[in-house]
A = this chain, B = another copy of it.
Amino acid sequence: MCAGDDKNCPEFELHHRKFKETLDRERRSFLRSSFAAAGGAAAMTAGGISLVTPQMAAAAEKNQPATRSYHHLPANADTVHWGYFSKKLKPQVEIDSGDFITIEALTHHANDDAERMVKGDPGAESVFLWTKEKKGVNRRGAGPMDASLFGRGAGEGLGVHICTGPVYVRGAQEGDVIELRIIDVAPRPCANPQYPGKAFGSNAAAWWGFHYKDLLTEPKPREVVTIYEVDATGVRIPIRPHFGVIGLAPKEADIVDSIPPSYTGGNIDNWRIGKGATMYYPVAVEGGLLSVGDSHASQGDSELCGTAIECSLNGTFQIILHKKADLVGTALESLDYPMLETKDEWLVHGFSFANYLSELGDKAQSDIYSKSSVDLALRDAFRKMRRFLMTTKKLTEDEAISLITIGVDFGITQVVDGNWGVHAVIKKDIFAGGDT
């Protein structure tokens, strides 16, 4: 029997009519399920639809103390780890699900202009201290402690971000999801009395930038540092204060370079991870072990030259733990990547390798630097968005694919962090539906 598309079939008319009827039925059902009804299935909150349903919120609350505590984690030589994540790190603070915490993040580029970004600041001075007599933070990077590889000191600089933490979340275990609400983000004031009331950031156009082998003017190649004054009230440059690095500890290795982002987050470098945003991270080790670093005053999609405006920031967060058992049938079931929710949008993060630590084998931490492409990251972002729409919004694969092509925007997150990133953005109001 022809599918209604072969005019030479003796029963073409009948088959074609049946085909059209089926098409009509499927079409109507698609329109109803995805655009009208799906909105009803998701929870409506003051800020719009959230991935957290009322049921999930209630389940999470059962694991929270009656009152919320507020914590403050300063950045200094004792509270930071430099250039790596590790499940072996001693937690700097233990918190309960639902608690609030302000975390100070120091830019690892502060020494690009120590006068403006280190001097007079006890926390920053303790971290950057490195004289013949004393080194404030010994390990800098995920490399060997005896510097046997390149002789660049303990950790070998394999991983660069000054991360504050980790924060241990009571009750967090592998398979759970940590919800991180970014309540506030504020620039770290300059502590040098010469620059009262100012804050500064640095942008380095560096050898790992996408532009580096493609320069026009001499001398080639070159690295260039530009120091920016942060003016949160001005409009000259779009101010997008955010954290390049927020992540949990992966389970695959004890010491993990902080540069390539992966399934537990880390150096995602998406400028949307700022005030008002909520991140969801899959928990891989007990307590989650959340750390924050690589703070940015501003960045564009791609972070093309290798850095943003690197700038110390203080962030205030609320951290909520969702237990694995409470995620069944929800949008966050089996979440295996860092997902972003803003007031109006959902974003999935694709990487050239979704979990490079497990995909690339023993040498993953070095191989990742030579294997990435935007094409691979786009492939991963597509797959994650398709799964999101199929699981969260109960679309069929074909409905999901059609919706992706017409309603999802793919942007280039970064091409400078070893494991390159592409994000896929879908607006929530597509699902708000109704007969408007």
Contact = CB atoms under 8 A, between A and B. Distances in A.
Interface in A169-213: 203, 205, 209-211
Contacts of A430: 236-238
- Residue in A378, A402, A415 whose Cβ sees the most chain B Cβ within 10 Å: A402
A11 interface: no
A224 to B, nearest CB: 4
Contact of A405 (B205, B215, B225, B436): B205
A226 interface: yes
Contact of A404 (B300, B408, B412): B300
Q: Which 6 A-B pairs have the closest CB atoms?
A: A305-B405, A301-B409, A374-B374, A302-B410, A224-B398, A35-B236
A30 interface: yes
Interface string A410-436: 111001000000100001011011001
A375 B407 CA distance: 23
A226 B402 contact: yes
Nearest to A226: B402
A392 interface: no
Given A20-B115, A210-B379, A301-B409, 20 more contacts: A31-B229, A36-B236, A210-B378, A217-B397, A234-B436, A236-B433, A237-B406, A237-B407, A238-B427, A238-B430, A300-B404, A300-B408, A301-B408, A301-B410, A302-B405, A304-B382, A304-B404, A374-B375, A374-B378, A409-B411
**Identical copies of this chain, number:** 2
A407 B297 CA distance: 11
Contact of A224 (B203, B383, B401): B401
Interface in A13-32: 20, 23, 27, 30-31
Given A373-B373, A410-B411, A299 B203 contact: no
Nearest to A416: B405
Nearest to A115: B20
Contacts of A379: 210, 214
Contact of A23 (B36, B222, B227): B227
Contacts of A307: 405
Contacts of A217: 396-397
A303 interface: yes
A203 B237 contact: no
Given A214-B383, A373-B373, A379-B214, A304 B401 contact: yes
Interface in A27-64: 27, 30-31, 35-36
Contacts of A30: 226
12 contacts: A30-B226, A203-B406, A217-B396, A224-B398, A235-B429, A235-B432, A236-B433, A238-B407, A238-B429, A238-B430, A301-B410, A373-B375
Interface of A: 20, 23, 27, 30-31, 35-36, 113, 115, 203, 205, 209-211, 214-217, 222, 224-229, 234-238, 298-309, 373-375, 378-379, 382-383, 386, 390, 396-399, 401-402, 404-412, 415, 422, 427, 429-430, 432-433, 436
Nearest to A397: B217
Contact of A35 (B31, B237, B305, B406): B237
Nearest to A35: B236
* Residue of A215, A224, A401, A407 with most partner-chain B CB within 10 A: A401
